[in-house]
Amino acid sequence: MELSDSVAVAQARAGDSGAFRALVERHSRHLFRLAYRMTGHQQDAEDVVQETFLRAYRQLAKFDDRASFGTWIYRIAANCSLDLIRARKRRGAQAEPAEEGAPDPMQALPDPAPAPDRLAMSGEIESKVAAVLDGLSEMERSAFVLRHYEGMCIDDIGRTLGVQPNAAKHSVFRAVQKLRRALEPLVSSAS
């Protein structure tokens, strides 16, 4: 029978590595997606997932049983992603738009295959979205990713990022505003 998160956490705290493994296997894919959306880079996302579970393992004693493990680990993953983005900015390196050897994200688009001009437009939009997301502040990007892609409500975003709900709301709003300013001309010409 599958362990609930709270039971798995209790057992992991008691030193049961199998219980911690269950938590890792349950949450990894979701965390990878979040980390990818936040960092825009597959390898960075892999590192974030790894780092998130290492931190969680070390901080398991501090986890409040009344809270949701999912929200807690999300918060850690968001913080790991922010650390990585900050470090990357400090190094002056920007996320690469596409990784060498990585599967072409265009392949994930639905069939039938679009016409070449349509495909080029999609690629342009995709690059533009990536560029705008890269240009957002750390808080704007995190709040937007959690709201838009992860469907988290504003209150939970505030809790996850450790800010007041109002600050989370404004970050989402500013992110959308910037996306809209940058993408609207492109979207209008495509439609």
In the complex, the residues that contact other proteins under the rule CB under 8 A are 13, 15, 17, 20-21, 24-29, 32-33, 36-37, 42, 49-50, 53-55, 57-61, 76, 79, 83, 86-87, 90, 102-103, 105, 108-109, 125-126, 129-130, 147-149, 153-154, 162-163, 169, 172-173, 176-177, 179-180, 183-184, 187-188, 191
Q: Where are the alpha helices (DSSP H) in 60-164?
A: 69-90, 116-135, 138-144, 154-161
Distance between CA atoms of 80 and 73, rounded to whole angstroms? 10
Number of helices followed by number of strands (H, E) in the chain: 8, 0
Comparison of 6 and 125: residue with beta carbon closer to other proteins: 125
The minimum distance between CB 124 and other proteins, in angstroms, equals 11
Q: Smallest distance from the beta carbon of 111 to other proteins, in angstroms?
A: 14
Q: What region, left, alpha or beta, does residue 164 occupy, with left being phi > 0 and alpha being psi -120 to 50 degrees?
A: beta
Q: Which is nearer to other proteins, 1 or 108 (CB)?
A: 108
Minimum CB separation from other proteins for residue 147, in Å? 6
Provide, rounded to whole angstroms, the least separation between the CB of residue 68 and other proteins: 16
Cα→Cα distances 127→14, 34, 37, 157, 186, Å: 47, 19, 14, 26, 12
